[in-house]
Chain A
C-alpha cells in the first residue's frame, strides 16, 4: 500500500489566487512528520514546510500553510496568492519516527503534483 498519496498529477491556478494540493498518508506509527518540498524544473528539492504529528496547530511558513487533519490522515498544502515562480512539482513526504526518534530518518515521498500558475 502506498504510504503517501497525491491524487492530483497536475493542477492549474490563476496568478494571485490560492491553491490547495492534496496529500493523504498511511502509517501505524503514532509519531511521524509530514513535509512538503518544491522541485522546480532545475531539479533541486526545496523544503517548504513541516508538520509534526503531535503539533496542535497547523504549520505556516509565509504563503505556505499545511492543513493537517489527523483523523483523515491528510496533510494538504495551501499556497496563498500564487506567483508565476510557484510553477513546479510539489512533493508531499512523511518520516516515521518510531525507528529513530528525534529528527532523523528517511523520507517517504508521494508521486508529486505539477502546479502551473497562469498569468
Chain B
C-alpha cells in the first residue's frame, strides 16, 4: 500500500515568507507526527496529532509554527515569517493505534535564503 507522502519534496523560499508543508499519512493511521531534522542531527519532535486534535504541540519552537489536521487525515505544517534557521528537512510520520512503529515520509527539504 501507499506510504506516507509529503509535498513538496523541496521548497526554497526567502526570509520572511510564509510556507506550507503537506503530509498525507497512511490510510487508517490515527496518529500523525511532525519532526524537524537539521543537518547532522537526529529528528526533533514538533507536534503530534491524534485524530483531528493536537495531542502535544510542545515541540513547536515558537508561534511562527502552526499545524492543522482538520479531517483527521492530511496535515499541513505552516511556518510564518520564515528565518534562515528554519532551514531543515521536515519529516512527517504516522502510526496505527496499538502499533509501536512510526512510518516516516520522505521529508520536505526547506531552504530559507
Contacts and interface: CB of A to CB of B under 8 A. Distances in A.
Chain A, interface residues (CB within 8 Å), range: 20 to 34
A99 B56 contact: yes
Given A43-B89, A44-B106, A45-B91, A103 B97 contact: yes
A119 to B, nearest CB: 26
A107 B33 CA distance: 9
Q: Which of B95, B99, B102 has the most CB of A within 10 A?
A: B102
Contact of B55 (A33, A100, A103): A100
Q: Which of A4, A45, A105, A109 has the most CB of B within 10 A?
A: A45
Interface string B44-75: 11001010000110010000000000000000
Nearest to A47: B101
Interface of B: 31, 33, 35, 40-45, 48, 50, 55-56, 59, 89, 91, 93, 95, 97-107
